Amino acid sequence: GPQAKSEKGASGDSDGFYGPKPQDPKKKPLTEGTKPPATGHRVARSPEASQILNTILSNYDHRLRPGIGEKPTVVTVEFSVNSLGPLSTLDMEYNIDIIFCQTWYDERLRYNDSFETLVLNSNVVSQLWIPDTFFRNSKRTQEHTVTMPNQLIRIHRDGKVLYTIRMTIDAGCTLHMHRFPMDSHSCPLSFSSFSYPVSEMTYKWEDFKLEINENNSWKLFQFDFKGMSNKTETLSTPAGDFMVMTFFFNVSRKFGYVAFQNYVPSSVTTMLSWVSFWIKKDPAAARTSLGITSVVTMTTLCTFSRKNFPRVSYVTALDFYLAICFVFCFCALMEFAVLNFLTYNQMKIRASPALRHSCRRARARARARARARARARARARARARARAQKHQKALVHAIVNMEGSDGEGKSSNPGSSQRSKPVCCKWHSGFKKYYCTIPNCEGSTWQQGHLCIHIYRLDYYSRVAFPLAFFFFSVLYWLGCLYF
């Protein structure tokens, strides 16, 4: 009827039919007696492969190495790195996930057949001789067993055997931290035979090329991968001479993390300690608290920098920088202590009655001498030049204070003369220190050719000396780190 006709048309013409399509009558279906078309490789059937494997393993002794008593077994090694890292600075070790491939020839596994290769899994590993390779600097080694042991055996027709295994290794890496955080390291992975000496088994690289899968996420974090290299050496032990193969992963530390965690805070804290130079000496609590806070902050930074650091006995580049910053903060605190001590002693000296009488007599004599000096000014200048030439080689540090000063460099005694000769005292034989007790003593003849340091200008000197010293230290430090 019409319904059957519509179904037939839908099944014959529609593209949305989900059942099997009708076959072309010209093409014959494949049956058991029909062989597939011939290709370039012959497909190995299970009975034939089992017969070959049983034949080669019937008289095979897996306890003996190939070529025993005739020649050493040569094992060719190749690596494929799945992931590298992380590298632990504290424990001095790194993690690596590799596929380790070893190839050797075993004449006992030769067979005459058209099959080129027999690919076998981990079940056959225990029935074959396998090199006893171990990693000399490994701390922990894990062989992956999910979902089956990650092992592969390939037996070629000419007796060539390929053994592949996947493992994760925690290997030791000795880090030399002298230039930390501008340091670079070469982390080794060394391996050799555990029981076969050089006369029994040797290793070799065949066209050394370490395959690294960069598509996987490497967990180096603080380091950059810079390349790789290899080395072959012979190690002499009481059990014999063994061939040791080593390849190195070259890494360099990223500077950004350490800079933001250590260099920036320490530099800012050092500069913050200089703020006390712009605070007057009268509010002692403000300047003292700022100095102590800077010193305590630098102590905390020095301790924090060693938190995730190996306990090495030498000083690193970062330790040296933090130590100098700590010295700058401590000197800024001591500067206020020296300033306060000198001004306090000067106030005690001014309070002494005997010193007040001597100062009055000194002022009277100074006035008389000033009048005499006004009449013979030219002759006094000549004597001053001669006296200055006589003592020009002597360099005396003079600590100058202004009597009655309010801390701003102004004299509170309007009757004092600017040309008065200061009262001086001697300390120690052969060495003089001059303590000026009147204002504006720069014009005195005894001071020509000498260095004059004002007590109340100590903060002014520090405002220039501390930043300049820290700037020159920073320049020398970074030049030394980059070029040495």
Q: How far apart are CA 392 and CA 390, in angstroms?
A: 6
User: In terms of Cα–Cα distance, which of 239, 438, 280, 431 is closest to 349?
Assistant: 438
User: Is residue 83 in some structural domain?
Assistant: yes
**CATH number (domain holding residue 241):** 2.70.170.10
Same domain, 232 and 359: no
Angle at 205 between CA 199 and CA 211, to 5 degrees: 150
- By residue count, the chain amounts to 484
Same domain, 224 and 370: no
Angle at 319 between CA 185 and CA 89, to 5 degrees: 35
Q: How far apart are CA 251 and CA 225, in angstroms?
A: 5
Q: Which residues does 162 contact at the CB level (< 8 Å), separation at least 6?
A: 101, 102, 103, 152, 153, 154, 156
Same domain, 249 and 390: no
Q: What is the pLDDT of residues 358-404, one digit of tens each?
A: 666 777 777 777 777 677 776 666 676 666 655 544 444 444 444 34
Same domain, 238 and 99: yes
User: Is residue 336 in some structural domain?
Assistant: no
Same domain, 193 and 67: yes
* Beta strands 151-156; 117-120: pairing state: antiparallel
pLDDT for the residue 344: 73
The Cα-based distances of 169 to 14, 90, 251 in angstroms read 60, 17, 18
Structural domain ending residue among the three candidates 203, 233, 253? 253
User: Is residue 331 in some structural domain?
Assistant: no
Range of the domain at 395: 352-449
User: Is residue 318 in some structural domain?
Assistant: no
User: Which phi and psi (to 5°) does residue 416 adopt?
Assistant: -75, 145
Same domain, 244 and 364: no
Q: Which residues pair with 432 in a beta bridge?
A: 426
Same domain, 85 and 201: yes
User: Is residue 293 in some structural domain?
Assistant: no
84-93: buried (b, 16+ CB within 10 Å) or exposed (e) per residue? bbebebeebb
Structural domain ending residue among the three candidates 236, 253, 270? 253
Q: Which residues does 418 contact at the CB level (< 8 Å), separation at least 6?
A: 439, 440, 443
Q: Is the peptide bond before 86 cis (omega within 30 degrees of 0)?
A: yes
User: Is residue 478 in some structural domain?
Assistant: no
Same domain, 230 and 364: no
Same domain, 356 and 240: no
Angle at 287 between CA 282 and CA 293, to 5 degrees: 165
Structural domain ending residue among the three candidates 253, 288, 312? 253
Q: Directed axis angle between helix 264-273 and helix 458-483, to 10°?
A: 160
- The owner of tokens 């030219």 is 378
Domain count, the chain: 2
User: Is residue 101 in some structural domain?
Assistant: yes
Same domain, 248 and 131: yes
State the number of CA atoms in the 13 A half-sphere of 466 facing the CB.
28
- The owner of tokens 């007590």 is 455
Same domain, 199 and 54: yes
User: Is residue 129 in some structural domain?
Assistant: yes
* Beta strands 138-143; 160-172: pairing state: antiparallel
Q: What is the pLDDT along the chain (484 residues), one digit of tens a residue?
A: 344 333 444 434 434 433 344 444 444 444 444 444 444 444 446 778 888 888 888 889 999 999 998 899 999 999 888 889 899 988 999 999 999 999 999 999 998 877 788 889 888 899 999 999 999 999 999 999 888 899 999 999 999 999 999 999 999 999 999 999 899 999 999 999 999 999 999 999 877 777 676 666 578 888 888 888 889 999 999 989 999 999 999 999 988 888 898 999 999 999 999 999 998 888 888 899 999 999 999 999 999 888 878 888 889 999 999 999 999 999 999 999 988 887 776 655 554 555 556 666 777 777 777 777 677 776 666 676 666 655 544 444 444 444 344 444 443 344 443 443 333 333 333 334 443 433 454 544 444 445 556 667 788 889 999 999 999 999 999 999 888 7
Same domain, 96 and 232: yes
- The owner of tokens 């200055």 is 388
